[in-house]
Structure 1
Amino acid sequence: MNRVAAVLFDRDGTLVEDVPYNGDPGRVRPVPGARHALDLLRAAGIATGVVSNQSGVGRGLLTHAQVRRVNERADALLGGLGAWVYCPHAPAARCACRKPRPGLVLEAARRLGVAPRDCVVIGDIGADVLAARAAGARGVLVPTAATLPEEVEAAPRTAPDLLTAVRLILGDSGGERS
């Protein structure tokens, strides 16, 4: 793997437990190992960010303010990430930002001041890996119950959990292993 300047995470199901259309910060629970994984990246000097589809806004189920409050709670629990970018559109909008399109990855890379080719996107569904590829970044799939078997089969790289995914990235980029 080439130099890794930033790791971008999907939010729901990857960094925090997936609560569909969550607008309640009190329901935010980091996945096991998330804080440790982020601490390893911070210690290695690698920027971090979040790229998340939040179609509940476009569907009228959430407000932007609710998404921001949930993101702020996750950010506080996880020790702070460098960029939080989300797509508020419903799938029917066919916007450029909704994963699997590249918009969120490109915007997060821009905000972090890194080239997309120097980013790795970690997510739990095929759209996360496809968004990475579309933006010229690399992807790592961490399968969950929501991941389809064909998404696992098509993924260029998988890891059994978030901490292992980060350790793989650090090992590939010359970072320390723990």
Structure 2
Amino acid sequence: MRSAAFLDRDGVLIADTGYPHRPEQAQVTPGAWAAVRRLNAAGLFVAVVTNQAGVARGLYDEAQVAAMHLWLRAQAAAAGARLDAFAHCPFHPTEGQGRYRRDSPRRKPGPGMIEDLLRFFPLRRDGSFLVGDRDTDLQAAAAAGIPGHRFPGGDLDAFVAGILA
């Protein structure tokens, strides 16, 4: 059992440029891979938890989410960093289309993605935390019973170093 660092994707690992879903749209945050290496070195499980309302809105599909996550994992690995898991929520309660228009406990501010990862992997809540850029991220962390840290932008590695200090 080990603790986990849960990272939001858009606004933390990559810039939130408005539903980025293709690698060529991704602008990796300064210090992102150094931050992930730091978390790896600290023995933390590193998981990405991301709302993907663009799926619900019909802008892209879940296969594109998976492809983006494979690309991010490869970019991290090329930089000597390891992303252990990804969780996403494709639903939206009011803006979704078809089967994607619904409430979901996985959608932040709900804790579902965090809770699922805590159950699926040998993780402990104690010592785990979330880094996000929105109130909904911090609310999800609180609902899951872990600390949440708001990333204001800038160098993600410096921010993570402050959390671990």
CA shift digits 1:41-75 (9 cap, x unpaired): 11121110000000111111110000111111112
Unaligned runs of 5+ in 1: 145-159, 172-178
Check the 8 A contact 1:53/1:99 in 2, yes or no. yes
TM-score, scaled relative to structure 1: 0.79
2:160 aligned with 1:166: yes
Name 1:142's counterpart in structure 2. 151
Which one of the candidate residues 32, 52, 74 is aligned to 1:34? Answer: 32
Check the 8 A contact 1:52/1:86 in 2, yes or no. yes
Check the 8 A contact 2:134/2:150 in 1, yes or no. yes
Name 1:81's counterpart in structure 2. 83
Unaligned runs of 5+ in 2: 95-101
Matches within 5 A, 1:14-29: 14-29=12-27
For the residues of structure 1 that align with 2:18 and 2:161, how far apart are their CA atoms?
28
Check the 8 A contact 1:47/1:82 in 2, yes or no. yes
Question: What SS is found at the alignment partner of 2:21?
Answer: coil
Structure 2 CA distance for partners of 1:161 and 1:125, relative to 1, 3 Å: farther
RMSD: 1.7
Letter in 1 for 2:70: E
Which one of the candidate residues 120, 129, 133 is aligned to 2:138? Answer: 129
Name 1:52's counterpart in structure 2. 50
Check the 8 A contact 2:29/2:155 in 1, yes or no. no
TM-score, scaled relative to structure 2: 0.85
> Could you tell me how far 1:109 is from its partner in structure 2?
2.3
Check the 8 A contact 1:120/1:132 in 2, yes or no. yes
> Could you tell me how far 1:18 is from its partner in structure 2?
1.6
> Could you tell me how far 1:168 is from its partner in structure 2?
2.2
> Could you tell me how far 1:161 is from its partner in structure 2?
4.2
Question: What SS is found at the alignment partner of 2:123?
Answer: coil
Name 2:7's counterpart in structure 1. 9
Question: What SS is found at the alignment partner of 1:163?
Answer: helix
Structure 2 CA distance for partners of 1:117 and 1:130, relative to 1, 3 Å: farther
Name 1:147's counterpart in structure 2. none
- Provide the identity percentage: 37
Q: Which aligned runs of 4 or more in structure 1 are off by greater than 3 angstroms?
A: none
For the residues of structure 2 that align with 1:30 and 1:91, how far apart are their CA atoms?
29
For the residues of structure 2 that align with 1:125 and 1:83, how far apart are their CA atoms?
21
